[in-house]
Amino acid sequence: MKRTEAELHARGEALFTADYLPEGTLFAAVFASPEAHGEVSHLDTGAARSQAGVVAVLTAKDIPGENQIGNLIQDEPLLATREVHYVGQPIALVVAKSEALARRALAAIHVVIQSRPAVFEPREAFKRGNLIGPVRTFVLGDVDRIWPRCEVMVEGRVDTGAQEHVYMETQNALAIPREDGGLKVFSSTQAPSMGQRLIARVLGCAMHQIEVEVPRLGGAFGGKEEQATPWAALAALAAHRLQKPVKLALRRREDLRMTGKRHPYSSDFKMGLSKEGQILAYEAHYYQNAGATADLSTAVLERSLFHATGSYFIPNVRIQGACCRTNLPSNTACRGFGAPQATFVMEAALFRAAQVLKVDPAALQRKNLLREGDPFPYGMRVENCRAEACWEESVRRYELSALEERIARFNAEHGLEKKGIARLPLCFGISFTSTFLNQASALVHVYTDGSVSVSTGAIEVGQGVKAKIQAVAARTFSIAPERIKVENTTTTRIANASPTAASTAADLNGHATRLACLTIAKRLQETAARLLSCDRPEAIGIIDEMVYLDGVRTDLRWEQLIAQTYLDRIGLSAHAHYATPQIYFDRNQEKGRPFAYHVFGTAIVEVTLDGLRGTYRFDSIKVTHDAGASLHPAIDRGQVEGGAVQGLGWLTLEEILSDDQGRLLTDTLTDYKIPDLYFAPEVHVHFLEQAENPEGLFHSKAIGEPPFLYGIAGYFALLKAMQHFRPEVKMDFAAPLTPEKVLMALYAEA
Ligand code: MOS
């Protein structure tokens, strides 16, 4: 099956929010705080207002409802009033007849801000008590009782950096007033229902007055979950005040400066092992750099805690995490959602332990892999565990011992270049950790010609969810995929949708689609039974668009069946709702069954390091991935390839730098380097065979976020290569490990 939108994208014909431009549209530009923390003592927009082409300059005073767009925690004004908390915080909105005129007027706004001390580091924020939500602690067994019995102990600190989402399409929205005083809003968002709810809050109107439609997204990666809302709400505010269509689109530099990133974490770990390498106890403290507002930080931290022990069983665990409020743009969801940060800390601890034990880290990884029935610190036990299966399949398929020999030979023969190799066993829990979000609905229409329209809350962000939903409907009806159109998401057709996030969109919305199709299929069986004079509708089947009776093919075809069902005045539409069964989590006990299932896998990364220059090239990533029975292997392969390379980028190339005033320095894509085709290694992807997932849709598994974690192996492969040059090289676990940092470490004084 082809991607549903492949041809449109290849021809450049796919329409995005920015392509919609009704006549008379006005353009908005955002005036943002130049200070990281301070009090606004004076704001003068008069000069900007009187510039040619400017229609209005809006401030918080123009908000008819609540000046509040915080979702989980209500700590985020749409427009700043008295205080500002980060450089880039919106203060005012200029609306003009063109984008250029709107931006030009920004310079005429005069603001005076009394600076206050700002905090940028999470440990500093923690010391001052600047926390969002409670400090969370997950406990298994009793670490304090076990420490004295550990024969090997390691401790250390780990820092991981921010990561920009770099969706190709920057944040943008278009709001159009309607005859009834409501608004239609086109928004580039992963979360149209949340946008609808928050726009209604800002405008002080009922949710039914606001329709949010999402054509498709040019990438999101979590950056358009909460952080699409401000721009949609600002466009909505202006359209509401001026009763004209208003477009707001951030330019790349504005987007880089004003929006949040992956959360940087600073962490401490302590690990105790037996001298045989069994991990007996593990303790970690995460200081999460949340930025200025809560956004999704508490949920991201929670996922870190869930993934603290990676793909390993550890009998005694104590994990603590704090969301630390700083004066940076609020950090937010980013593919992996806290799991990569926690998994990296775990792998760093193991790497350090392997150094002390003088063994290959892979030996420790293998020894401690999760086995069926092992408990996680959050209470759930691992079911259908494939950690060892993926590991062993990798060893076989990628001929690991030959690979290691080849690398050893290379290193013996080369003085200026050294290779390193490392592995990452993956374990990633699937479900929103906020249990209530694990629901979805679908609306399916069959038209009288036999063609089908499917609407769900799943947003096409480029991940191919439409193709998966199409596959689900085609399989359920047993008709050609070409008959099925998957519609854009709009809040009038699908209400109260959860965001397209947590890797769950195809799972949840696919399940709902299947249920809606089954409802219609049941009615079709009844029609067919009548037509075939059979009193047992259950004896009717549809296979490849033909009706079967008791397994025997009849002459009745799909189109005829549909036409007759309509003539019989039977409904050809259905709406269905799905909620993931049997999941819950008790935040008082910090125990429960938060995930429907886990995704497993193993990656092997090989890197070649140039010891004169500190530059490196990732040669290959070899993956064995547990996709269940994949709904769409081509799409899943693409997600593994893209995720793994994005993970490598996070830990190596991608460095976000701010100055001491909290101003972003890496605010162009020439300063901020992301992986490109030249950087990308060969990616080999093998899907584990016979891997049906009993909990999954058609026995499949979610795919979006887990493969990002494979990039973690790249970091440790690089450390290994550095050790081959200089065995005593100082290893402080601080990502990203850019070529500069590699070079400095290789030549640092001992
Ligand atoms: Mo995703 S990082 O859960 O939007």
pLDDT digits (tens, 9 = 90+) for 543-576: 999 999 999 999 999 999 999 999 999 999 999 9
Distance, in Å, from the CA atom of 603 to the CA atom of 549, rounded to the nearest integer, reads: 48
pLDDT exceeds cutoff 80 at 1: no
Q: Is 560 exposed, middle or buried (0-12, 13-18, 19+ CB in 10 A)?
A: middle
The conformation of residue 678, written as its DSSP 8-state character, comes to T
Q: How far is CA 667 from the centre of its chain?
A: 22
392 Cβ contact partners less than 8 Å away, ≥ 6 residues apart: none
User: What are the two backbone dihedrals, phi and then psi, of residue 713, each rounded to the nearest 5 degrees?
Assistant: -60, -30
* Other CB atoms within 10 Å distance of the CB of residue 550: 10
User: What are the two backbone dihedrals, phi and then psi, of residue 600, each rounded to the nearest 5 degrees?
Assistant: -120, 170
Distance, in Å, from the CA atom of 635 to the CA atom of 704, rounded to the nearest integer, reads: 10
% pLDDT > 90, the chain: 98
Distance, in Å, from the CA atom of 32 to the CA atom of 36, rounded to the nearest integer, reads: 11
Distance, in Å, from the CA atom of 402 to the CA atom of 373, rounded to the nearest integer, reads: 33
Q: Are 345 and 286 in contact (CB under 8 A)?
A: yes
pLDDT exceeds cutoff 80 at 689: yes
CA angle 508, 509, 510 (to 5 degrees): 90
Amino acid occupying residue 689: E
CA of 330 to the centre of ligand 1 (A): 15
Helix (H, G, I), strand (E, B) or coil at 104: helix
Residue 213's alpha-carbon distances to 175, 232, 600, in angstroms, are 10, 11, 35
Amino acid occupying residue 96: A
CA angle 164, 169, 173 (to 5 degrees): 110
Pocket test for ligand 1, best of 188, 225, 302, 708 (most atoms within 8 A of CB): 225
Distance, in Å, from the CA atom of 126 to the CA atom of 134, rounded to the nearest integer, reads: 12
- Alpha-carbon torsion, ordered 520, 522, 527, 533, to 10 deg: 170
Whether 705 sits among the annotated catalytic residues: the reply is yes
For residue 224, the ligand 1 atom closest to its alpha carbon is 4
Pocket test for ligand 1, best of 166, 332, 335 (most atoms within 8 A of CB): 335
In order, the DSSP letters of 161-218 are: -------SSPSEEEEEE-TTS-EEEEE--S-HHHHHHHHHHHHT--GGGEEEEE---S
Q: Are strands 265-273 and 279-291 parallel, antiparallel or unpaired?
A: antiparallel
For residue 337, the ligand 1 atom closest to its alpha carbon is 2
CA of 504 to the centre of ligand 1 (A): 9
Closest CA to 64 of 195, 183, 202: 202
For residue 500, the ligand 1 atom closest to its alpha carbon is 4
For 239, half-sphere exposure in the C-beta direction (CA atoms, 13 angstrom radius) is 29
179 Cβ contact partners less than 8 Å away, ≥ 6 residues apart: none
CA angle 385, 390, 393 (to 5 degrees): 140
- Alpha-carbon torsion, ordered 628, 633, 639, 645, to 10 deg: 100
For 734, half-sphere exposure in the C-beta direction (CA atoms, 13 angstrom radius) is 10
256 Cβ contact partners less than 8 Å away, ≥ 6 residues apart: 164, 664, 666, 667, 668, 672
pLDDT tens sequence across 129-186: 999 999 999 999 999 999 999 999 999 999 999 999 999 999 999 999 999 999 999 9
Helix (H, G, I), strand (E, B) or coil at 43: strand
pLDDT exceeds cutoff 90 at 2: no
Cis peptide before 329 (omega within 30 of 0): no
Beta strands in 411-519 (DSSP E): 417-430, 439-446, 452-456, 484-486, 489-490
pLDDT tens sequence across 213-266: 999 999 999 999 999 999 999 999 999 999 999 999 999 999 999 999 999 999
CA of 168 to the centre of ligand 1 (A): 16
Pocket test for ligand 1, best of 306, 337, 507 (most atoms within 8 A of CB): 337
Beta strands in 237-393 (DSSP E): 246-249, 265-273, 279-291, 316-325
Annotated catalytic residue, options 417, 705, 728, 749:
705
Q: Are 199 and 189 in contact (CB under 8 A)?
A: no
Distance, in Å, from the CA atom of 541 to the CA atom of 743, rounded to the nearest integer, reads: 66
pLDDT tens sequence across 590-627: 999 999 999 999 999 999 999 999 999 999 999 999 99
CA of 1 to the centre of ligand 1 (A): 26
Across all residues in the chain, what is the average pLDDT? 97
CA of 480 to the centre of ligand 1 (A): 32
3-state percent breakdown (helix, strand, coil) of the chain, nearest 5: 30, 25, 40
Amino acid occupying residue 70: G
Q: Is 625 exposed, middle or buried (0-12, 13-18, 19+ CB in 10 A)?
A: buried
> How big is the chain by its Cα radius of gyration, in Å?
27
Residue 500's alpha-carbon distances to 175, 217, 316, 342, 540, in angstroms, are 21, 11, 35, 23, 36
Which region holds residue 628: left if phi is over 0, alpha if psi is between -120 and 50, else beta? Answer: left
- In this predicted structure, what is the pLDDT of residue 364? 98
CA of 328 to the centre of ligand 1 (A): 20
CA of 583 to the centre of ligand 1 (A): 19
H or E stretch covering 139? strand 131-140
User: What are the two backbone dihedrals, phi and then psi, of residue 599, each rounded to the nearest 5 degrees?
Assistant: -100, 135
Q: Are 91 and 35 in contact (CB under 8 A)?
A: no
- In this predicted structure, what is the pLDDT of residue 58? 98
CA of 127 to the centre of ligand 1 (A): 29
- In this predicted structure, what is the pLDDT of residue 141? 98
Q: Are 269 and 320 in contact (CB under 8 A)?
A: no
Token output for 214: 């999402």
% pLDDT > 70, the chain: 100
For residue 334, the ligand 1 atom closest to its alpha carbon is 2
Residue 485's alpha-carbon distances to 163, 366, 504, 508, in angstroms, are 35, 46, 21, 18
CA of 379 to the centre of ligand 1 (A): 24
CA angle 738, 744, 750 (to 5 degrees): 140
CA angle 376, 594, 584 (to 5 degrees): 125
Adjacency order of strands within the sheet including 546-549: 540-543, 546-549, 552-557
Helix (H, G, I), strand (E, B) or coil at 569: coil
User: What are the two backbone dihedrals, phi and then psi, of residue 15, each rounded to the nearest 5 degrees?
Assistant: -95, 135
Q: Are 628 and 699 in contact (CB under 8 A)?
A: yes
Q: Are 28 and 95 in contact (CB under 8 A)?
A: yes
- In this predicted structure, what is the pLDDT of residue 730? 86
For residue 503, the ligand 1 atom closest to its alpha carbon is 3
Residues present in the chain in total: 750
The mean per-residue pLDDT over the stretch 66-77 comes to 97
In order, the DSSP letters of 616-648 are: EEEEEEEEEE--BS-S-HHHHHHHHHHHHHHHH
pLDDT exceeds cutoff 90 at 5: no
Ligand 1: lining residues by beta carbon, under 6 Å: 190, 222, 225, 333-335, 337, 501-502
Q: Are strands 210-214 and 489-490 parallel, antiparallel or unpaired?
A: antiparallel
Residue 544's alpha-carbon distances to 145, 298, 477, 479, 511, in angstroms, are 63, 48, 9, 5, 21
CA of 144 to the centre of ligand 1 (A): 35
The mean per-residue pLDDT over the stretch 367-387 comes to 98
Closest C-alpha residue for ligand 1 atom 4:
222
41: pLDDT confidence band, cut at 50, 70 and 90?
very high
pLDDT exceeds cutoff 80 at 676: yes
CA of 501 to the centre of ligand 1 (A): 4
